[in-house]
Structure 1
Amino acid sequence: MTQTVLVFLDRALPDGRIEDATKPQLFATDLGATRGDGVFETALVLDGHVRKLPAHLHRMTHSAALLDLDIPDHTVWERAIVTALDEYQRVVGPLTEVVVKLVVTRGVEGAHEPTCWVAASAPAPAAKRQREEGIDVLLLDRGYDSDVAERAPWLLLGAKTLSYAVNMAALRYAHAHGADDIIFTSTDGQVLEGPTSTVLLAHAEKDDAGRVTLKRLVTPRLDSGILPGTSQGALFAAAKDAGWELGYGPLVPEDLFDADAVWLISSVRLLTPVNHLDGKPIGSDPDLSKALTEELAALFDAIH
Structure 2
Amino acid sequence: MTVLVFLDPARPDGRIADAAQPQLMVTDTGITRGDGIFETMLAVNGAPRKLQAHLARLATSADALELKIPSSDVWERAITTALAAADDDGELVVKLVATRGEPEAGATAWVQVSAVPVGLRGQRLSVLLLDRGYDSTVAQRAPWLLMGAKTLSYAVNMAAVRYARSHGADDVIFTSSDGKVLEGPTSTVLIARVIDGVKHLITPQLESGILPGTSQGALFAAAREAGWDLGYGPLVPEDLFASDGVWLISSVRLLAEVESIDGKPVTVSPELTAELSGLVASVS
* TM class by smaller structure: over 0.9
Question: Is the counterpart of residue 297 in structure 1 residue 262 in structure 2?
Answer: no
From 127, 142, 147, the equivalent of 2:137 is 147
Q: Which residue of 2 aligns with 1:279?
A: 263
Give the 5 Å matches for 1:57-96.
Answer: 57-89=55-87, 94-96=88-90
8 A Cα contact 2:128 2:173, kept in partner: yes
Give, in whole Å, the separation in 2 of the partners of 1:122 and 1:276.
Answer: 29
From 129, 136, 161, the equivalent of 1:171 is 161
Give the 5 Å matches for 1:80-229.
Answer: 80-89=78-87, 94-111=88-105, 113-128=106-121, 132-205=122-195, 213-229=197-213
From 237, 250, 255, the equivalent of 1:253 is 237
Match of 1:127, SS state, is coil
8 A Cα contact 1:85 1:95, kept in partner: no
8 A Cα contact 2:46 2:84, kept in partner: no
**Stretches (4+) displaced over 6 A:** none
Amino acid at match of 2:271: A
Mark the runs of 5 or more structure 1 residues left unpaired by the alignment: 207-212
TM-score when normalising by structure 1? 0.92
8 A Cα contact 1:45 1:95, kept in partner: no
Taking only the aligned residue pairs, the percentage that are identical comes to 64
Give, in whole Å, the separation in 1 of the partners of 2:103 and 2:242.
Answer: 50
8 A Cα contact 2:189 2:249, kept in partner: yes
Give, in whole Å, the separation in 1 of the partners of 2:177 and 2:137.
Answer: 10
Give, in whole Å, the separation in 1 of the partners of 2:143 and 2:195.
Answer: 40
RMSD: 0.8
Question: Is the counterpart of residue 44 in structure 1 residue 42 in structure 2?
Answer: yes
Give, in whole Å, the separation in 1 of the partners of 2:12 and 2:264.
Answer: 53
Give the number of aligned pairs: 284
Give, in whole Å, the separation in 2 of the partners of 1:79 and 1:49.
Answer: 12
Q: Which residue of 1 aligns with 2:3?
A: 5
Mark the runs of 5 or more structure 2 residues left unpaired by the alignment: none
TM-score when normalising by structure 2? 0.99
Shift of 1:101: 0.2
Shift of 1:243: 0.3
8 A Cα contact 1:139 1:278, kept in partner: yes
Shift of 1:110: 2.4
1:251-271 CA-partner distances (Å, limit 9, x unpaired): 000000111100000000001
